[in-house]
């Protein structure tokens, strides 16, 4: 449940250029919503960026219904935030806006009551947001999604790229580029689940990265590249 509902909150979000230190400072002033009644919360990310936007992310569970959970948070900030509700089955969504930040609560019904996510981000002009990563990549790729995390000073990124070239071509170019940047190849292997897919594992001192190259089934010459980079 943790990874599924955490991912849900990220689909509709955006992300500032990441610098060590400024990363965490961007989220320190954001409000910290507690658990709903008859429930508990757990941190997923105290400091992260999604496509440039700083944010915090929690998951929660409660014995209350989704509507009752949203009503609780609505009442908690009444008078200080604009509020709007929506339903995207099975999710009930509450959006809260102040001059300084946005809060989005997703809740869905489960056997014991409800579960969901609490996402908080600052109010930032969307035009100022940029998807930027320092991870080496060929010019043939473009960034389609970028998640950046700062977990107690340990920074990592999850980078999603798209390419109009075949997966083995991107694998070769990434390998040559990374070796030229001082990375060592730990392992190269085909994927088990997808034909013509490849996995590349590289390391540079304390840095580690795992790259997965997957061809598009409908367009074999189009490739999706997923990178998990621990700095």
Write the DSSP string, 1-64.
-HHHHHHHHHTT-------TTHHHHHHHTS----PPTTEEEEEEEEEEEETTEEEEEEEEEESS
Q: Domain extents for the chain?
A: 2-126, 141-230
Taking the chain, what is the end-to-end CA distance rounded to the nearest angstrom? 27
Cα angle for residues 20, 23, 26 (degrees, 5° grid): 145
Q: Residues 209-214: what's their mean pLDDT?
A: 96
Contact 69, 36 (CB under 8 A): yes
C-alpha span between 211 and 112 (Å, rounded): 38
Report pLDDT for 230: 93
Statement: residue 1 has pLDDT above 70: no
Tell me: pLDDT of 201 over 90. yes
Whether 170 contacts 164, CB under 8 Å: no
Residue 160 and residue 79: Cα distance in Å, rounded?
A: 40
- For 10-63, the pLDDT digits (tens) are 433 333 333 334 556 667 878 899 999 999 999 988 888 888 888 899 999 999
Q: Is the pLDDT of residue 89 over 60?
A: yes
Query: What per-residue confidence (pLDDT) applies to 28?
Result: 80
- The fold of the 141-230 domain, in CATH, is Protein Transport Mog1p; Chain A (3.40.1000)
Residue 46: what pLDDT? 86
Residue 210 has pLDDT above 90, yes or no: yes
What is the per-residue pLDDT for 123? Answer: 83
Angle at 74 between CA 68 and CA 79, to 5 degrees: 155
Residue 23 is predicted with a pLDDT of 55
**Contact criterion met (CB below 8 Å) for 109 and 90:** yes
What band does 126 get if pLDDT is binned at 50, 70 and 90?
low
């Amino acid at each position: 449940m943790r990874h599924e509902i955490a991912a849900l909150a990220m689909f509709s979000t955006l992300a500032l250029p990441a610098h060590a230190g400024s990363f965490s400072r961007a989220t320190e002033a954001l409000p910290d919503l507690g658990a709903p009644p008859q429930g508990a919360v757990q941190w997923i990310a105290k400091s992260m960026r999604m496509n440039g936007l700083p944010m915090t992310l929690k998951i929660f569970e409660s014995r209350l219904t989704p509507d009752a959970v949203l009503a609780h948070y609505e009442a908690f900030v009444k008078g200080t935030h604009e509020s709007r509700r929506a339903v995207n089955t099975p999710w009930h969504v509450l959006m809260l806006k102040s001059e300084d930040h946005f809060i989005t609560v997703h809740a869905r019904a489960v056997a014991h009551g409800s579960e969901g996510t609490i996402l908080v981000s600052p109010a930032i002009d969307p035009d100022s947001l940029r998807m930027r990563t320092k991870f080496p990549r060929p010019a043939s790729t473009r960034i389609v999604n970028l998640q950046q995390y700062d977990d107690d000073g340990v920074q990592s990124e999850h980078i999603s790229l798209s390419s109009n070239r075949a997966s083995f071509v991107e694998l070769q170019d990434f390998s040559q580029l990374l070796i030229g940047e001082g990375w060592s190849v730990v392992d190269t292997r085909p994927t088990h689940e997808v034909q013509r897919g490849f996995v590349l594992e590289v390391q540079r001192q304390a840095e580690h990265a795992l790259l997965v190259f997957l061809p598009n089934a409908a367009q074999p010459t189009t490739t999706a590249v997923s990178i998990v980079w621990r700095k």
